[in-house]
Structure 1
Amino acid sequence: MSAFITPEIRRRIKSRKTAVAGVAAVAAATVAFSLVPSGDAEAGVRTEAVAAAPVAWKADSKQIAAVQESITGQQSAFEAQFKATQAKAKAEAKAKAVAEKKAAAQAAAEKRAKNEAASRSAARTPAKVTYPNNLDGWIREALSIMKKHDIPGTYEGIHRNIMRESSGNPRAINNWDINAINGVPSKGLLQVIKPTFDAYHVPGTAHDQYDPVANIVAACNYAADRYGSMDNVNSAY
């Protein structure tokens, strides 16, 4: 059939091929343009970004993986730090409890030792003796004081002389003998005069001739100096 194609027909066929190629180019451009938002002046640049999107997505995936790995590492570090903090707090609480228990035990031991020391001191220190306010009590209290001052005498010797001198009356006074005439009457349980009482008064007792204990102790002190003991006195002395 090529023998029958004239130059005019060839020209028309070429012209049609050119038109079809143009239409194809326009269609391709239309497809590319449809991928770009309308109104963008830099459509070519946008088209290139779209074409490069798979590469960027791959790069973002790597970044996401790196971020996830970093987060996982930070979480592990946080958990390790949290566990370490818990362990430290537990150890400190245990140490505090042990210290408090030790302090309580020490305080209890000190209190117990203090109480024991107080008990021993109380045992060593005799309780203060009280005496009845009567002749028996006066003589026994006088004997206790005489013992501290090494003044001799017995209960029997003191009691015997008291009964003879005053019949046990601590306010007894002699207003008729020579001492009374001289202005120094005998007074008290053992009838001592003022000069004798003052000279033989024992410190720690009342400075009063009528005080029963002071009277007994001073009289026994005088009798010990003159007769060796009140036990040796059997009459006026």
Structure 2
Amino acid sequence: MRSTITGTARLTKTHKLSAAGITVAMGAAAVAMAVTPGQAAETPSIAVKPVAWTTTDLGAHDHVGTQSDKAAAKAKADAAAAKVKADAAAKAKADKARADQQAASRSQARTPVKPAPAKPAPAKPAAPAAPVKKAYADNLDGWIKESLDILKSKNIPASYEGIKRNVMRESTGNPRAINDWDINAANGVPSKGLLQIIDPTFKAYHVEGTSWDPYDPVANITASCNYAADKYGSMDNVNSAY
């Protein structure tokens, strides 16, 4: 049991023993007085020397306990404060991460969708190269050779020698030659050109791809050879006027 002495100081074990001694001494005196009541006035008082103690001694134990309790309370408070701080930091981090994610989502939602690139138009096939036109000399040799190539493409028979022989007999190689004295001339259709062909025959046996001018050397040769092939089998078979 604790007793309060001069404030809040409590008795220590030494003080309790001193108090017990005082109580025993007082009890003995009371017994003595009870045994010889008549001599009570003559019995001298028992002097009790008080035990020296201070309030500092009374509060030493409690002071130690109080410091320990305070340290424990402070540690608990510090731990609670640290937890609150840690919880606040974790919440702030989670809030920031959520805000960043939402901002990224909004940014992605606002990003315009790029249209798909247009498919390139299919490449147009290259136009076939124009055939290289064969060059021919602008003379009797070149005219005959060009005529032979055209006649061959049309399956019309003729030879270089047969054409040249008849050209030299009919016009001596002059593409502007004209006969104005024979029967054809008398009938108004004179013979013309290298192989001396009349206009009606030229038009009837004209070879496609050549000029319509009877004085044109190549046109004159090909039309005349076409006519000779029809009437005589080939210009090679013609040896006189035809």
Q: CA deviation at 1:127?
A: 3.1
Counterpart mapping for 1:158-173 below 5 A: 158-173=163-178
Are positions 1:3 and 2:45 aligned together? yes
Q: CA deviation at 1:68?
A: 7.2
Question: Any runs of at least 4 consecutive aligned residues in structure 1 with deviations exceeding 3 A, and if so which?
Answer: 2-5, 51-54, 62-74
In structure 2, how many angstroms separate the alpha carbons of the residues matched to 1:226 and 1:55? 136
Q: CA deviation at 1:128?
A: 2.5
In structure 2, how many angstroms separate the alpha carbons of the residues matched to 1:160 and 1:67? 120
Q: CA deviation at 1:72?
A: 10
Q: CA deviation at 1:52?
A: 5.4
Amino acid at match of 2:76: V
Residue matched to 2:136: 131
Amino acid at match of 2:201: T
Are positions 1:56 and 2:98 aligned together? no
Amino acid at match of 1:60: A
In structure 1, how many angstroms separate the alpha carbons of the residues matched to 2:191 and 2:145? 23
How many equivalent pairs are there? 155
Residue matched to 1:212: 217
Select the residue among 159, 162, 168 that pairs with 1:157. 162
In structure 2, how many angstroms separate the alpha carbons of the residues matched to 1:190 and 1:3? 192
Q: CA deviation at 1:150?
A: 1.2
In structure 1, how many angstroms separate the alpha carbons of the residues matched to 2:87 and 2:215? 114
In structure 2, how many angstroms separate the alpha carbons of the residues matched to 1:219 and 1:133? 19
Are positions 1:188 and 2:193 aligned together? yes
Counterpart mapping for 1:23-172 below 5 A: 53-64=74-85, 127-172=132-177
In structure 1, how many angstroms separate the alpha carbons of the residues matched to 2:211 and 2:45? 176
The CA RMSD over aligned residues, in Å, is: 4.2
Select the residue among 174, 192, 203 that pairs with 1:198. 203
In structure 1, how many angstroms separate the alpha carbons of the residues matched to 2:76 and 2:45? 55
Show structure 2 runs of 5+ residues with no match.
1-43, 48-53, 56-71, 98-122
Are positions 1:231 and 2:226 aligned together? no
In structure 1, how many angstroms separate the alpha carbons of the residues matched to 2:200 and 2:172? 23
In structure 2, how many angstroms separate the alpha carbons of the residues matched to 1:3 and 1:160? 193
Give CA-to-partner distance per residue, 1:65-93, whole Å, 9 cap, x none.
Answer: 5677889999xx9xxxxxxxxxxxxxxxx
Q: CA deviation at 1:3?
A: 3.5
Q: CA deviation at 1:163?
A: 0.9
Give CA-to-partner distance per residue, 1:24-45, whole Å, 9 cap, x none.
Answer: xxxxxxxxxxxxxxxxxxxxxx
Select the residue among 210, 216, 221 that pairs with 2:226. 221
> TM-score normalised to the size of structure 1?
0.54
Amino acid at match of 1:212: P
In structure 2, how many angstroms separate the alpha carbons of the residues matched to 1:208 and 1:232? 26
In structure 2, how many angstroms separate the alpha carbons of the residues matched to 1:182 and 1:127? 44
> TM-score normalised to the size of structure 2?
0.53
In structure 1, how many angstroms separate the alpha carbons of the residues matched to 2:147 and 2:228? 14
Amino acid at match of 2:222: V
Task: Specify the structure having the higher radius of gyration (Cα).
Answer: 2
In structure 2, how many angstroms separate the alpha carbons of the residues matched to 1:133 and 1:169? 13
Give CA-to-partner distance per residue, 1:79-121, whole Å, 9 cap, x none.
Answer: xxxxxxxxxxxxxxxxxxxxxxxxxxxxxxxx9xx9xx97xx7
Q: Quick one: percent identity of the two aligned structures?
A: 62
Give CA-to-partner distance per residue, 1:191-226, whole Å, 9 cap, x none.
Answer: 001111111111211111101111000100111111
In structure 1, how many angstroms separate the alpha carbons of the residues matched to 2:160 and 2:215? 20
Q: CA deviation at 1:164?
A: 1.0
Show structure 1 runs of 5+ residues with no match.
6-19, 22-50, 78-110
